Amino acid sequence: MQPAKIKVLLAEDDLVLGYVIKDNLEIGGYDVTLCPDGDEALQQFQKSEFDICLLDVMMPSKDGFTVAKKIRGKSDVVPILFITSKAMEEDKIKGFQSGADDYIVKPFNMQELILRMEVFLRRTKKLHSEESVTYQVGKLRFSFTDLKIYVDDQTINLTQKEADLLLFLCKHPNKILKREEVLLNVWGKDDYFLGRSMDVFITKLRKHFKADPGIILETIHGIGFRFNVPEVHAVS
């Protein structure tokens, strides 16, 4: 029995480029649905399940940022990669804030795109194949597998990247962690723009920790972070 093909949602209003990407990915064994605008991309996402989404930033009807936010409202797990011709720092940060996992700037090499896709697909596959991973973090209970934090009668939903970052922090409590160390282990590379993205996710996690004042995610200027927590341990 042949394994199921990886399903890719590709939103690209430049149809020449769209078909080049689609054809190359299909040669590589992917199942690609190409959409010419943001509206159709959202319609397709609602009708089918996809393993990964590739979104152009500048599209008619709905731009990539809007589409990413809508997708994140329905799934915290599916990887989102932006395909963009915009190299402005603000656009990249906005992309991460809207739920993207990574970006690739036009023009790009198809092999680079496929390699970046495979990084996130491996993580998603690992997530679904692993046994449940749960940590008691102070008063909070963090389920990496379910992408949730439980505290009292409240449930906080996490994105995959928030969960990846929190898992790394839980494995290294009360220790100074260098910025490049966190970037390499959670994002896979040490990059200025990814560093700015990391700061966004650090801020998001701090908001989640407000339920337990004993948890302090400290920024150590010029070095990195320290996850100060009175108690953290894996639970069954």
Spatial separation of the C-alpha atoms in residues 184 and 194, rounded to whole Å:
10
Among 1-15, 93-107, 206-220, name the most confident range. 206-220
Task: Compute the chain's Rg from CA coordinates.
Answer: 18
Q: What is the pLDDT of residue 74?
A: 86
Name residue 190's amino acid: D
Q: How many beta carbons lie within 10 A of that of residue 77, not counting itself?
A: 14
**What's the whole-model pTM score?**
0.61
Compare 83 and 9 and report the one with higher pLDDT: 9
1: confidence class by pLDDT, cuts 50, 70, 90: very low
Specify the pLDDT at position 221. Answer: 92
127 vs 215: CA distance, rounded Å: 26
Q: Are 33 and 50 in contact (CB under 8 A)?
A: yes
Chain-wide mean pLDDT for the chain? Answer: 87
CA 48 from centre of chain: 20
Given this model, what pLDDT does residue 127 score?
Answer: 52
Query: Distance between CA atoms of 137 and 23, rounded to whole angstroms?
Result: 46
- For the stretch 134-182, pLDDT in tens is 899 999 999 988 889 999 889 999 888 888 899 999 989 999 999 999 9
Which residues sit opposite 81 in a β-bridge? 54, 102
Residue 209 has pLDDT above 90, yes or no: yes
Q: What is the phi-psi region of residue 5: left when phi exceeds 0, alpha when psi lies from -120 to 50, beta otherwise?
A: beta
Evaluate if residue 55 carries a pLDDT over 90. Answer: yes
Q: What confidence tier does 126 reach under pLDDT thresholds 50, 70, 90? A: low
